[in-house]
Amino acid sequence: MPSPFPGMDPYVEAPSIWGDFHGSMVAELREELNARLPPRYAAAIDLFVWIHEPDANTRTLLGKPDVRVVHRTATTGPASTRATMPAPTSVILPAIHREGSKYVKVFDIEDRRVVTVIELLSPANKQASNDREACLMKRYEYLANGVNLVEIDLLRTGERLPLGEGPLPTGADYYIMVCRATELPRAGVWPLSVRDRLPESPIPLDPEEVDLSLPLKPCMDRAYDKGRYAGTINYGRPPTPALRDADAVWALELLSRKRD
């Protein structure tokens, strides 16, 4: 059973659901792309990893070993006893914490060259943190290396990634941004409300190729079905995060009609 909403289901944005949905949606985008791409291309899921170094207090806590391992060498007598030189000082090595975000890449099969990257943003990308900075650096790296970028933001919370200058409507809940490497710094943006149907997004390839059309709504519906969200989401309560007042009334009427 597909989501009762015509586009993005705001209930799926809940923190308890989003992580599962994000993984399923990325997989569906990859599958849909591979069913539509010309023979010279393929789509694959990759993982962008960023690294955190804990602060001094955290490093102190992490520096205590849980188990002390000692290697003992058999000795034959006092002559085998060795003195060890004490270190003049000691340090606590930084504990490294890795996080990652899955994305879809389209590559040329012959030379494995990445042509296009499709990013489905996560909450960490929209919060003031090192994760957001890492996401922005990755965005700039793609564009600097001539890779087309498609950015899909289906989250109403958080600070939107910078979209530069241009007439963007206020109050848009979601957006799709398509930046062709050959058209930098210009990019196309599709702002969407919670009431809008998810469109077919253009996926640019090499300049001599016609854009691919990627239908987002079927991908979302399949991810929704495979997550069995119809049976686990309580549509009798407001979504988290809450909708604007007018949209909340619209959603209530929509869900009431669906139940009837």
DSSP-H helix ranges across 38-100? 56-62
* Residue 88 confidence class, pLDDT cut points 50, 70, 90: confident
More confident position, 150 or 100: 150
Residues 6+ positions from 118 with CB-CB distance below 8 Å: 29, 33, 103, 104, 105, 106, 150, 152, 203, 214
The rounded distance, in Å, linking the Cα atoms of 67 and 246 is 58
More confident position, 127 or 81: 127
Chain-centre distance for alpha carbon 154: 10
> What is the span of the domain harbouring residue 193?
10-55+96-259
The pLDDT of residue 86 is 79
Q: Closest by alpha carbon to 122, among 23, 3, 190, 55?
A: 23
In a domain, 250, yes or no: yes
Asked which of 85-99, 127-141, 148-162 is least confident by mean pLDDT, the reply is 85-99
The pLDDT of residue 73 is 46
Report the run of H or E that residue 189 belongs to, with start and end. Answer: strand 188-192
In a domain, 3, yes or no: no
In a domain, 87, yes or no: no
Encode pLDDT of 5-64 as tens digits: 999 999 999 999 999 999 999 999 999 999 999 999 999 999 865 454 555 544 444 344
Q: How far, in Å, are 8, 57, 125, 173 from residue 162 at the CA level?
A: 22, 33, 11, 15
The pLDDT of residue 136 is 79
In a domain, 77, yes or no: no
In a domain, 42, yes or no: yes
Encode pLDDT of 166-204 as tens digits: 666 667 899 999 999 999 888 999 999 999 999 999 999
Cβ burial 48-72 (10 Å sphere, 16+ → b, else e): eebebeeeeeeeeeeeeeeeeeeee
Judged against a pLDDT cut of 70, whether residue 125 lies above it is answered with yes
The pLDDT of residue 143 is 83
In a domain, 68, yes or no: no
The pLDDT of residue 81 is 54
> If DSSP codes are grouped into helix, strand and coil, which group holds residue 21?
helix
In a domain, 51, yes or no: yes
Encode pLDDT of 137-170 as tens digits: 888 888 888 999 999 999 999 888 878 776 666 6
The pLDDT of residue 167 is 64
The rounded distance, in Å, linking the Cα atoms of 188 and 181 is 12
Encode pLDDT of 202-257 as tens digits: 999 999 999 999 999 999 999 999 999 999 999 999 999 999 999 999 999 999 99
The rounded distance, in Å, linking the Cα atoms of 68 and 53 is 24
The pLDDT of residue 15 is 94
The pLDDT of residue 66 is 42
More confident position, 105 or 97: 105
The pLDDT of residue 100 is 58
The pLDDT of residue 119 is 94
In a domain, 226, yes or no: yes
Chain-centre distance for alpha carbon 88: 46
| Percentage of the chain lying above the pLDDT 90 cut | 58
Tokens 């979601």 appear where?
174
The rounded distance, in Å, linking the Cα atoms of 181 and 55 is 38
* Total of domains in the chain: 1
Judged against a pLDDT cut of 80, whether residue 91 lies above it is answered with no
